[in-house]
């Protein structure tokens, strides 16, 4: 799945309306440029592409009094919201993709009702358990990786990854079931985006012409 689409849609949705530099700033604030492909070029490309696809609505607003080109602000559409929630649900149940997919899903998990988030995470645990079972059809963890030569280390890594992923997910499920965090419909959500003009302590410092699109 496209992590950049999920990240950009989620960031725009949190603001209501946002221009490209705001979205980029938020993703850097979340550290997404370190653990995903959310680089400046891909962010602006995703905004324009999703506007063409009807997932976002582009608003041209007047340039600042200091001059410069008009700024484009983006707003998520009903179709965009459906796509966002679809990608979010996929991210939370995924167990066989890169960690950026799960990381993005966790970043937006509170946009779902608490009960649904728990059910999706339980599906992830089931998927991890099935994956572990398929690996152990060819590899017996108790006998150690040497049974298959150095290739056994690959199987050993997969089994440990499945076990660690399931353990972490169960811990998150428990925290959510015990009342951690504010989920959809429960009250004021956690504010995880930067306000207009708020300094980003994690900014890369790179600001190029066209960044305001």
d(CA 179, CA 117): 12
Structure-token match 């603001």, residue found: 15
Note if the pTM is more than 0.85. Answer: no
The predicted structure's pLDDT at residue 189: 74
The predicted structure's pLDDT at residue 89: 96
In sequence order, the β-bridge partners of residue 59 are: 73
Please give the mean pLDDT across all residues of the chain. Answer: 85
pLDDT tens per residue, range 132-161: 898 888 778 788 878 777 878 888 888 899
d(CA 80, CA 40): 21
Beta carbons within 8 Å of 110's beta carbon, 6+ residues apart: 117, 181, 182, 183, 184, 189, 190
Structure-token match 């992923």, residue found: 165
96: pLDDT strictly greater than 60: yes
Query: Helices marked H in 75-136 — which ranges?
Result: 78-93, 99-107, 114-135
* 71-76/18-19 β-pairing: antiparallel
For residue 64, what pLDDT band results from cuts at 50, 70 and 90?
A: low
Tokens of 120: 């999706």
Output the CA–CA distances (angstroms, integers) from residue 167 to 80, 120, 127, 170, in the order listed: 33, 15, 13, 5
d(CA 146, CA 3): 37
DSSP state of 109: G
210: pLDDT strictly greater than 50: no
The predicted structure's pLDDT at residue 142: 80
Output the CA–CA distances (angstroms, integers) from residue 39 to 3, 33, 64, in the order listed: 12, 6, 26
3-state SS assignment for residue 209:
coil
């Amino acid at each position: 799945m496209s992590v950049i689409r999920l990240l950009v849609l989620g960031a725009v949705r949190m603001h209501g309306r946002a221009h490209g530099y705001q979205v980029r700033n938020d993703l850097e604030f979340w550290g997404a440029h370190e653990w995903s492909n959310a680089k400046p070029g891909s962010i602006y490309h995703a905004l324009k592409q999703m506007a063409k696809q009807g997932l976002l609505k582009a608003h041209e607003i007047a340039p600042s009094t200091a001059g410069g080109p008009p700024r484009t602000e983006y707003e998520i559409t009903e179709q965009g919201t459906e796509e966002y929630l679809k990608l979010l649900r996929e991210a939370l149940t995924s167990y066989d993709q890169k960690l950026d997919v799960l990381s993005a899903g966790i970043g937006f998990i509170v946009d779902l009702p608490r009960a649904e988030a728990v059910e999706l995470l339980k599906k992830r645990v089931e998927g991890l358990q099935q994956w572990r079972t398929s690996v152990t059809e060819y590899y017996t963890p108790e006998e150690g990786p040497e049974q298959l030569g150095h290739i056994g280390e690959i199987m050993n890594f997969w089994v440990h990854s499945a076990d660690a992923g399931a353990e972490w997910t169960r811990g998150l499920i428990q925290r959510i079931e015990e009342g951690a965090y504010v989920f959809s419909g429960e009250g004021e959500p956690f504010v995880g985006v930067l306000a207009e003009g708020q300094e980003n302590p994690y900014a890369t410092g790179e600001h190029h012409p066209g960044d305001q699109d």
